[in-house]
Structure 1
């Protein structure tokens, strides 16, 4: 992952390295002044830069208890550890290392900016304590499950997120999904999210988000209920009806374990449903393109046939006009022997009358051809639009029904767990 020179041996974070790093921060830095004038006092250092040091393991940072900014990018670090005492840390850069899992950050309750860019991380988790997190960089990792985005909904202050270079960023619905499920996000992959995209994303995923909010509210209510029950247990700890502490601890562990299994099941089912939605959407779009092509071909054939009808009508009009004029001339000369109906004979008064009559007939025929063409084109376009809309609506209803089923099933499982007797879990 990193681009450090392989000829250098991995190094240990010992006191010599730390002293050198503090001393090299420059005369303008408070830490540098301290280092030069009074000796190094690690507890007074606010910023520490340890990039490009070939560090394999984070260690010996417990003395920097007031550190605000820590730079550990471009090293060989494989695990996040040794940060337990850095409770005042606000900015942490661990980019360009070999980290495979997010861990060891529970104590960093004041962290606002975290960079894990260009590592080997496959899952976004273990960030629960970072309640002040505003900027999170996870680009160029191996995150492939879109459900990781839902995990980030708990960070209400998160405004900047980078996930480019991960497998999930290749998904067609990637930006829309993130904009919908993280509505407070301002920047995604170093670009500002425009209001138009945010509105479209909200409309597209509205039902799923509503269901998710409902489930989040249920979980929050359940957590509050459990907290209330724990407080009640503490208040009545002395009563004989309460089991001993070891049994309660065992019970709580099992409840947490089973609740975790239920949550994991929810994530799996929702992931499968999302994958199905994407596959069906691709299939529906392909069908829509094909049916539109077929309708276009049908319309071309109709227009071609109607053009032939117009040509035939024009030819008919010319022949009819020629015959009518010849007949008029014969009648005028008394050479027409056939007996004509009175209404037909009344047309052969003069040339203008017969030309107008034939022309009116011609216009009526052309109008009927035009109307028939418009009717066929309008009906086929209307049929196509209705068919495609129905397919899309059916898919939306199917998705809503499936999401609802998943939520109902998960709620049922959770309720079953909540209603179990203590003995059932402990045994």
Structure 2
């Protein structure tokens, strides 16, 4: 198609292209499509804009459902304006003036990428395209074989075309690619046959082994990463992250400017070591208790969800039984209705209306019973979780109180040593050689006391902050969970009521229909 000069993608061009494509589909498949004016861009899944002299990609943000986009045979210099097309699986940009691969970061579902007959010299910026399976780069300016071999990271890539690039003229080009990309099936439109594979295996056996080792190492690293992320998520869900080691202790001294200087004073290093050991011991105790409490809460929530599902299933079964019974009566009365005289028929009609009203009331009673059961379950969950959270908070608050006592004990003992050291410095009775910074610090008693007090306040602040984080976190979790279930039940109850009303209206319409027959 050619609509004349179109340096940019205008709305007029888009409408004409969509209209032409729908018309062609209608003709070829004998289907009836809506009028182009009634078609919304966000519903279009395929769009062809080839041969339109387009210089700039723009105005495509409404095509959020687009899966295939053809922009080949234009004058495009820069890949841009595609960020909203996150459902795109097929992108054709061959026969343009593109020099750089860019602007594809958001297209994570892309499987087919055609960039043949452009001016590209480097394969780059495609790491996000993990589903890439077909990559056409014919007749570009790719020279570096190492640059091509980076494509080995794309495990789903089975077709690669690079003929017409300088790199394709290099010695052993085909064998090298076969050695580095064992999953690749087609290279330059030719099958990578067994002979080529065998040659690659012999000539580049070390490469192939390194590839296997690298893939294995990558898989292990990815599995370790997944395990680590899952473990960290578990710790966060239990509100005890970073409590299974010295992290809290280290954070207490992270911004203590005189901590290292004080460590040089005889007696303080051993105090610090004892303080760390006792702190870590309490943190690990809290961590393990937190995981156990999380497991209890999770079991309670699962039991609650199972109970809710059982109530839904039972109510659905009873509703089905009620409806089956009504249908049986309905068909019996329908047959009876057709044999009766007018007065008796009116009586059957009245009885049927009464039965519909009874059915509606029966459904309403069932829904009310279900609602009460579900609400009772939520109340029981709320009470149970409240007890668990209270127990967890109480135990945690006790441990944090012990941590504050440990810190205060450490502070008092360090202060005693500091006062004695100040006196020794003043009298010149130091028995040990201390660094100049330490001697300078202990020259003035007020300076030392201020430094110790500042450190003491900072240590307590870290403990208090972590305590607040845990307590507010677990309390907020409980409140949000109950509210989510209450909101969900309110919404479902509303939908059930609507369904009942729709059913009653349907039954009335059905009754009117067969009475007219």
Are the structure 2 counterparts of residues 132 and 219 from structure 1 closer, same or farther at C-alpha, using a change threshold of 3 Å?
closer
Separation in structure 2 between the aligned mates of residue 232 and residue 169 of structure 1, nearest angstrom? 47
Are the structure 2 counterparts of residues 177 and 28 from structure 1 closer, same or farther at C-alpha, using a change threshold of 3 Å?
same
Q: Displacement, 1:217?
A: 4.0
Q: Displacement, 1:10?
A: 5.7
Q: Displacement, 1:237?
A: 6.1
SS at match of 2:55: strand
Q: Which residue of 2 aligns with 1:43?
A: 42
Q: Which residue of 1 aligns with 2:51?
A: 52
Q: Is the 8 A contact 1:10 1:76 kept in 2?
A: no
SS at match of 1:70: strand
TM-score (norm 1): 0.50
Q: Deviations over 1:93-126 (max 9, x none)?
A: 0001111222222222222211010112122232
Q: Which residue of 1 aligns with 2:141?
A: 142
Q: Which residue of 2 aligns with 1:24?
A: 20
Q: Displacement, 1:215?
A: 3.8
User: Which structure has greater helix proportion?
Assistant: 2
SS at match of 1:126: coil
Q: Is the 8 A contact 1:12 1:55 kept in 2?
A: yes
Q: Displacement, 1:148?
A: 2.3
Q: Which residue of 2 aligns with 1:158?
A: 157
Separation in structure 2 between the aligned mates of residue 98 and residue 241 of structure 1, nearest angstrom? 59
SS at match of 2:69: strand
SS at match of 2:35: helix
Separation in structure 2 between the aligned mates of residue 149 and residue 112 of structure 1, nearest angstrom? 18
Separation in structure 2 between the aligned mates of residue 176 and residue 11 of structure 1, nearest angstrom? 43
Separation in structure 2 between the aligned mates of residue 17 and residue 241 of structure 1, nearest angstrom? 65
Separation in structure 2 between the aligned mates of residue 242 and residue 29 of structure 1, nearest angstrom? 68
Is residue 156 of structure 2 the alignment partner of residue 176 of structure 1? no
Q: Deviations over 1:240-269 (max 9, x none)?
A: 46779xxxxxxxxxxxxxxxxxxxxxxxxx
Q: Displacement, 1:131?
A: 2.1
Matches within 5 A, 1:199-210: 199-210=198-209
Q: Displacement, 1:175?
A: 0.8
Q: Which residue of 1 aligns with 2:84?
A: 85
Separation in structure 2 between the aligned mates of residue 180 and residue 163 of structure 1, nearest angstrom? 16
Separation in structure 2 between the aligned mates of residue 208 and residue 83 of structure 1, nearest angstrom? 37
Are the structure 2 counterparts of residues 19 and 237 from structure 1 closer, same or farther at C-alpha, using a change threshold of 3 Å?
farther
Separation in structure 2 between the aligned mates of residue 37 and residue 139 of structure 1, nearest angstrom? 36
Structure 1 stretch displaced more, 74-83 or 206-215: 206-215
Is residue 120 of structure 2 the alignment partner of residue 121 of structure 1? yes
Q: Displacement, 1:53?
A: 1.1
Q: Is the 8 A contact 2:83 2:106 kept in 1?
A: yes
Q: Is the 8 A contact 1:34 1:40 kept in 2?
A: no
Q: Is the 8 A contact 1:22 1:35 kept in 2?
A: no
Q: Displacement, 1:17?
A: 1.2
Q: Is the 8 A contact 1:80 1:99 kept in 2?
A: yes
Q: Which residue of 2 aligns with 1:132?
A: 131
Q: Which residue of 2 aligns with 1:198?
A: 197
Q: Which residue of 1 aligns with 2:468?
A: none
Q: Which residue of 2 aligns with 1:12?
A: 8
Separation in structure 1 between the aligned mates of residue 56 and residue 251 of structure 2, nearest angstrom? 44
Separation in structure 2 between the aligned mates of residue 28 and residue 74 of structure 1, nearest angstrom? 20
SS at match of 1:27: helix
Q: Which residue of 2 aligns with 1:189?
A: 188
TM-score (norm 2): 0.42
Q: Displacement, 1:29?
A: 2.4
Are the structure 2 counterparts of residues 206 and 116 from structure 1 closer, same or farther at C-alpha, using a change threshold of 3 Å?
same
Q: Is the 8 A contact 1:89 1:108 kept in 2?
A: yes
Are the structure 2 counterparts of residues 9 and 43 from structure 1 closer, same or farther at C-alpha, using a change threshold of 3 Å?
closer
Q: Is the 8 A contact 1:135 1:158 kept in 2?
A: yes
Structure 1, unaligned stretches of length 5 or more? 245-427
Q: Is the 8 A contact 1:137 1:163 kept in 2?
A: yes
Q: Displacement, 1:178?
A: 1.2
Q: Is the 8 A contact 1:90 1:112 kept in 2?
A: yes
Are the structure 2 counterparts of residues 35 and 116 from structure 1 closer, same or farther at C-alpha, using a change threshold of 3 Å?
farther
SS at match of 1:43: helix
Separation in structure 2 between the aligned mates of residue 242 and residue 135 of structure 1, nearest angstrom? 51
